[in-house]
Amino acid sequence: MSSPLAIAAVTAALKDLLNDGLLNHDLSSVGSFSVTALPPDRISTGQTEPNQLNLFLYQVTPNIGWRNVGLPSRDRNGVRLSAAPLALDLHYLLTAYGSQDLNAEILLGYAMQLLHETPILTRAQLRTVLGAPSPVNGAIDGLPSPFGPLTAIDLADQIELIKITPVFLGTEDLSKMWTAMQARYRPTMAYMASVVLIEVPTTGRAAPPVLKRGPDDAGNAAAASAFPTLTRVRPTVSELLPAMRLGDDLLINGANLNNPDSTQAVFENSKFGIVQKITPSSGGTGSEMTLHIPSVNDDADAMNKWAIGLYSVSLEVSRPNLPSAMSNTVPIVLAPIITVDPLEAAVGDVALTLTCAPRLRPEQEHGTRLVFGSRTIQADSITTPNVPESPDMQKPTTLTFTVPSVLEGEYLVRLRVDGIDSLPVTISGSPAKLEFDPQQKVTVKVV
Find, among 161, 117, 89, 119, the residue nearest to 24 by Cα. Answer: 117
d(CA 336, CA 424): 10
Q: What is the pLDDT of residue 271?
A: 92
| Tally of CB atoms within 10 A around 141 | 7
Predicted confidence at residue 354, as pLDDT, reads 96
What DSSP designation does 368 have? -
By CB atoms closer than 10 A (0-12, 13-18, 19+), residue 95 is: buried
Q: Which residues does the chain have with pLDDT short of 50?
A: 137-140
Nearest Cα to 239, choosing from 417, 431, 436? Answer: 431
pLDDT computed for residue 428 by the predictor:
83
Q: What is the DSSP string of 320-356?
A: TTEEEEE---EEEEEPPEEEEE-SEEESEEEEEEEEE
Amino acid at 309: G
**Terminal CA-to-CA distance of the chain, rounded, Å?**
86
Q: Which residues on adjacent β-strands are paired with residue 131?
A: none
Give the single-character DSSP code of 68.
T
User: For residues 67 and 195, what is the distance between their CA atoms, to the nearest angstrom?
Assistant: 11
Q: For the chain, which domains are there?
A: 6-198 (no CATH), 229-334 (2.60.40.10), 337-445 (2.60.40.10)
CA nearest to 250, candidates 286, 299, 292 = 292
Q: Is the dihedral of CA 133, 137, 141, 144 positive or negative?
A: positive
Output the CA torsion sign for 162, 168, 172, 176: positive
Flag whether the pTM goes above 0.85: no
**What is the residue type of 225?**
S
Q: CB-based burial of residue 342 (10 Å sphere; 0-12 exposed, 13-18 middle, 19+ buried)?
A: exposed
